[in-house]
Amino acid sequence: MATVEKLNKALTELKSIFVGKNEIIDLLGIGLVARENAFLLGPPGTAKSAIVRALSERIAQGKNFEYLLTRFTEPNEIFGPFDIKKLKEGELVTNTEGMLPEASMVFLDEIFNANSAILNSLLMALNEKIFRRGKETRKLPALMFVGASNVLPEDEALNALLDRFLIRIKCDYVDPDQLNEVLVAGWKLENSIASELATIDAEEIIQLQAFCKNVELKGIRQQYADLVHTLRNTGIKVSDRRAVKLQSLIAASALMCGRKEATLSDLWVLKYIWDTEEQIEVLESIINKVIEKDTNAAAHPQAAFNKAPNPEEVIKDVRQLAERWEDSSLSFEEKNVIKDKLRYLQTRCDWIKNNEQKQYIQQEIEALWQKILQTL
């Protein structure tokens, strides 16, 4: 499919610029095709803004809107001011030129700084792609919204905002082994002369979003339903509404691989539905066990990606779990999370190359399992 190739070409170009960020770039591509919002969590300097900006530049015939929110951001700064001419005539009409309601790609940095004055309007824009102000109601042309923050929200009111982002991506500093490549790519980017970009029209993305709805999910629906039950049992909240919407990400993964049918490999996108950072490893453990059974040659590349474990980090994590298990006030749900994390670490341990380190860690894991079994 020509449109899929165009989008993949633009994403590949981005990957050559942003070394070590393939995962983030692929997920943003999935979000575009599924017309679902993505949230980026990470410290400053991890290229969150730069990646989104570069992706926006590759969407031709579209308008982009980017804004850094503060606690004092007013609705006018996001949605546009009232039209003075119309106001004199007694009409409340917003002048949205160059603002969020006219944008095809929206990036809101430090989104959890959103205050009560803009929160309701933002929630409706993110969830229903509708802008409402007074008597005004209009559909938004946004292909997707991307939000970013250095931290997760602590305020209950802001949790509703996080819920509007179906995809959640952790953005870290690149692996030390890739730092040299980052420096070379960054220097080239800083000193590059403007060249022709690989682009895709906004209308073509809308076509892809329509094609996405025709992807056949029948072959993996039962396994998907089983996964949802498993995730709920481990304390990861997957509402019925969210479970339905997640199907669009699975379909988008298949479409990006040029397939009209989803396979088990497309369930890799479910690793990115966490609510807390503690859930990231639990999700990886559960999802990896399912997607590794897929032998399809046209599987999504991210499904085969498995981060090589650091033995020191693995043993540190095992000891932290052992320490947590000693807490007598743990709930049934919290105990299940510890067991799921331990299963994940057990799986990761198999990938450790040094046999001596592997055996040592396996002994520690076995000792913790014995302790768990004795207290059940």
* Element spanning 183, H or E: helix 179-190
SS3 content of the chain, % helix, strand, coil (to 5): 55, 10, 30
Which tokens sit at 106? 């929206």
Nearest-angstrom CA–CA distance, 136 and 39: 28
CA distances for 145 relative to 5, 87, 166, 179, angstroms: 23, 30, 10, 30
Name residue 299's amino acid. Answer: A
Tens digits of pLDDT across the chain (376 residues): 789 999 999 999 999 888 889 999 999 999 999 999 999 999 988 889 999 999 999 999 888 999 999 999 998 999 988 776 766 666 777 888 899 999 999 999 999 999 988 998 899 999 999 988 777 788 999 999 999 999 998 887 788 899 999 999 999 887 666 666 667 666 666 665 556 788 999 999 999 999 999 999 999 999 999 999 999 998 899 999 999 999 999 999 999 999 999 999 999 999 999 999 888 888 988 898 888 888 777 888 888 665 556 788 889 989 999 999 998 888 888 888 888 888 878 877 876 767 888 889 999 999 999 989 887 6
What lies within 8 Å, CB to CB, of 248 at 6+ separation is: 34, 35, 36, 212, 213
Nearest-angstrom CA–CA distance, 288 and 88: 61
Q: Pick the closest to residue 300 from 31, 17, 30 (CA basis).
A: 30
Residue 236, classified by CB atoms within 10 Å of its CB into exposed (0-12), middle (13-18) or buried (19+), is buried
CB 79 within 8 A of CB 99: yes
CB 170 within 8 A of CB 24: no
CB 160 within 8 A of CB 152: no
Q: Pick the closest to residue 34 from 201, 256, 189, 197 (CA basis).
A: 256
pTM: 0.79
CB atoms within 10 A of CB 202: 15
Render 331-344 in DSSP notation, one character per residue.
-HHHHHHHHHHHHH
Nearest-angstrom CA–CA distance, 19 and 12: 11
Please name the residue that has the structure tokens 């400053």: 44
